[in-house]
């Protein structure tokens, strides 16, 4: 395919043609072309039709479930489970160090992070690995793993059972698969783009047609929301202390919504895919998270997140959430 035919195919506005043209490139060429699409879409001096075409092409590439590396989900599921089981024997350590943002880190976070990073880098040598405890700057690479070695470190430190290991795989900054393993409850959740959401092999589907909230249903939120008095959601409230666990409960239909005031990309990347594949709705406020922009420091930005089991409930909850007067970013 000559260069003119290639760009004609890429801007064809036919999803299948766009994906086929993009997949015909080698890895280095894909990175260069996608970076070009990013620049076109962000260039306010270009005509809107060009920006729309670039946006369409990027969306087609981001949503291509067939592009996932062979065996990635199976390898990551086994790895995450092994790390979670190893951590289980060490919970309740009661010793931790406070980080700059006030959250805790233990020696076990660091050990788990090292094991996950090393195993993923060895098995997928062409992939970047981003981590809460190590590299946090996304360079724009096609494939990047994102790790939260212990989601709910405070719970882990004191022996409270809501904590887990979260791993996601991103393509050009957009989550495409996620694994969330909670060893205390013997639950592993996973999802891949277009492949559905699962808990221990059981397919998950939330009530995506729900229009009303019953007073006996559950809504999970963070402790910061409670302190701020942002608690009027029409359901019984629960605080688990783990953003990942809340997103897993949303995907499973155990809760009708969740609010998190101060989360980072690794807190939500795995749950983002899981919730979406189960039919839930999740948006951020104040800033777009996904796709990650090249050069973004994941440790330097936090956002507010609101999730719900349906678009209707999301709209109802958003009237009472952390940024009542701010527009949500539909990442």
Q: What is the pLDDT of residue 247?
A: 98
Q: CA torsion, points 128, 89, 242, 331, in degrees to nearest 10?
A: 20
Q: CA torsion, points 181, 187, 192, 196, in degrees to nearest 10?
A: -170
* Residue that has been written with the tokens 């990073």 in this structure: 117
pLDDT in tens, 317-327: 988 776 544 55
Rounded mean pLDDT, 255-269: 94
Asked if residues 251 and 206 have their Cβ atoms less than 8 Å apart, the reply is yes
Rounded mean pLDDT, 290-297: 93
Q: For the domain with range 68-198, which CATH number is right: 3.40.50.10470, 3.40.50.720, 3.30.70.20, 3.30.540.10?
A: 3.30.540.10
Distance CA 189, CA 315 (A): 26
Q: What is the percent of the chain where pLDDT is above 90?
A: 75
How confident is the prediction for the chain on average, in pLDDT?
A: 90
Q: What is the pLDDT of residue 93?
A: 67
Distance CA 145, CA 72 (A): 10
Q: What is the pLDDT of residue 325?
A: 42
Q: Is the pLDDT of residue 298 over 70?
A: yes
Rounded mean pLDDT, 38-53: 94
- Round to the nearest angstrom and report the end-to-end CA distance of the chain: 33
Asked if residues 159 and 89 have their Cβ atoms less than 8 Å apart, the reply is no
pLDDT in tens, 91-139: 766 666 666 665 667 788 889 999 999 999 999 999 999 997 788 999 9
Which residue, among 291, 298, 316, has the nearest Cα to 306 in the 3D structure? Answer: 316
Q: What is the pLDDT of residue 319?
A: 85
Burial bucket for residue 264 (CB in 10 Å: 0-12, 13-18, 19+): buried
pLDDT in tens, 203-258: 999 988 888 999 999 999 998 888 888 888 989 999 999 999 999 999 999 999 99
Distance CA 63, CA 68 (A): 10
Burial bucket for residue 205 (CB in 10 Å: 0-12, 13-18, 19+): middle
Q: What is the pTM of this model?
A: 0.91
Which residue, among 71, 152, 139, 143, has the nearest Cα to 112 in the 3D structure? Answer: 152
Q: CA torsion, points 278, 115, 143, 64, in degrees to nearest 10?
A: -30
- The CATH fold assigned to 218-329 is D-Maltodextrin-Binding Protein; domain 2 (3.40.190)
Angle formed by the axes of helices 48-62 and 27-42, nearest 10°:
140
List the 143-151 sheet strands across, edge first.
128-131, 143-151, 164-171, 174-182, 187-192, 196-199, 202-203
Q: Which residues have C-beta within 8 Å of that of residue 36, sequence separation ≥ 6? A: none
Q: Is the pLDDT of residue 49 over 90?
A: yes
Asked if residues 270 and 11 have their Cβ atoms less than 8 Å apart, the reply is no
Helix (H) / strand (E) element for 26: namely none
Q: Is the pLDDT of residue 271 over 90?
A: yes
Query: Which of the four pLDDT bands, split at 50, 70 and 90, describes residue 2?
Result: confident
Which pairing describes strands 174-182 and 187-192: parallel, antiparallel, or unpaired? antiparallel
Return residue ranges of the chain for CATH 3.40.190.80. 218-329
Distance CA 191, CA 197 (A): 4
């Amino acid at each position: 395919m000559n260069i003119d035919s290639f760009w004609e195919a890429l801007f064809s506005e036919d999803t299948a043609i766009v994906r086929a043209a993009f997949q015909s490139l080698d890895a280095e060429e894909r990175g260069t072309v996608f970076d070009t699409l990013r620049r076109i879409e962000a260039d306010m001096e270009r005509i809107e039709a060009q920006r729309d075409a670039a946006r369409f092409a990027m969306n087609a590439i981001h949503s291509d479930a067939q592009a996932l590396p062979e065996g990635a989900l199976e390898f990551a599921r086994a790895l995450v489970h092994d790390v979670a089981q190893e951590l289980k024997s060490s919970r309740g350590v009661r010793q931790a160090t406070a980080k700059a943002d006030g959250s805790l880190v233990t020696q076990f976070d660091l050990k788990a992070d090292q094991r996950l990073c090393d195993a993923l880098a060895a098995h997928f040598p062409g992939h970047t690995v981003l981590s809460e405890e190590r590299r946090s700057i996304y360079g724009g690479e096609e494939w990047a793993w994102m790790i939260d070695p212990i989601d709910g470190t405070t719970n882990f430190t004191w022996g409270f059972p809501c904590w887990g290991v979260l791993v996601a795989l991103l393509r050009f900054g957009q989550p495409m698969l996620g694994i969330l393993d909670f060893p205390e409850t013997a639950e592993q959740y996973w999802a891949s783009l277009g492949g559905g959401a699962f808990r221990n092999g059981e397919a998950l589907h939330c009530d995506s047609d729900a229009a009303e909230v019953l007073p006996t249903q559950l809504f999970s939120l963070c402790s910061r929301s409670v302190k701020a008095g942002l608690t009027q959601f029409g359901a019984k409230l629960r605080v688990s202390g783990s953003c990942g666990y809340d997103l897993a409960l949303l995907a499973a239909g155990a809760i009708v919504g969740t609010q998190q005031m101060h989360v980072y990309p690794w807190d939500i990347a795995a749950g983002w895919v899981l919730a979406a594949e189960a039919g839930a709705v999740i948006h951020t406020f104040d800033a777009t998270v996904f796709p990650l922009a090249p050069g973004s420091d994941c440790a330097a930005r936090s956002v507010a997140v609101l999730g719900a089991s349906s678009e209707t409930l999301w709209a109802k909850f958003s009237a009472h959430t952390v940024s009542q007067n701010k527009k949500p970013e539909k990442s």
